[in-house]
Amino acid sequence: MDMPPSRYKVVEEGRRLVVIDRMTGERVHRQMPGPSRPGSSPPQAANRAPLPEPAPRAAQPGETVLTTQRWFDDKGPRTIALRGDASMTIVVAALVVLVVLGIVFAWAGFFGLFVIAFLAFNKGTLPALRKGVTVWLDSLEKV
């Protein structure tokens, strides 16, 4: 048993492809909307231009501006103005993390990298660390 012929056929006219409706014998001039799927966005949303990102906040005298990213801050990307000793706190925290990683690597050697990789790729570890960093950044923002 053969399949019935398609309702539409495509022909070339003047180096252009044209769709012909076999039932009416005329060209198809408009694009038919495809079937909509539950949960899909309406076709008009695809034509809208994305909203521009807000301009980064300029640093005031005596403060440092930190722009966070989504991979380490649940509220990121956001811009935080660090006043006073808050910027020094971030530098000290980064140095502590580097020293701890260096000690782990020196103590456990190459095996330490596997432990760190296991913790980094564990499902529960990264969201918990990200939440902790977000709370810590929120406390720095209020200083």
Determine, yes or no, domain membership for 58.
Answer: no
Predicted local confidence at residue 76, as pLDDT: 78
Using alpha carbons only, what angle is made at residue 8 by residues 3 and 44, rounded to the nearest 5 degrees?
120
Neighbours of 73 (CB within 10 A): 20
Residue 44 falls inside a structural domain: no
Neighbours of 101 (CB within 10 A): 13
* Confidence (pLDDT) at 46: 53
- What's the pLDDT score for residue 41? 60
Q: Is residue 48 assigned to a domain?
A: no
Instruction: Please indicate, yes or no, if residue 28 is contained in any of the structural domains.
Output: no
Please, what is the angle between helix 125-142 and helix 86-108, to 10°?
150
pTM of the model: 0.49
The answer to whether residue 20 sits within a structural domain is no
Mean pLDDT by 10 residues, the chain (143 residues): 85 89 85 62 58 61 80 86 81 90 81 79 85 88 67
List the domain range (segments joined by +) for residue 93: 64-142
Task: Determine, yes or no, domain membership for 76.
Answer: yes
Q: What is the model's pLDDT at position 62? A: 66
8 A C-beta contact, residue 67 and residue 78 = yes
Assigned domain for 131 exists = yes
Give the DSSP letter string of 23-55. TT-SB--SPPPPPP-TTPPPHHHHHSPPPPPPP
Domain total for the chain?
A: 1
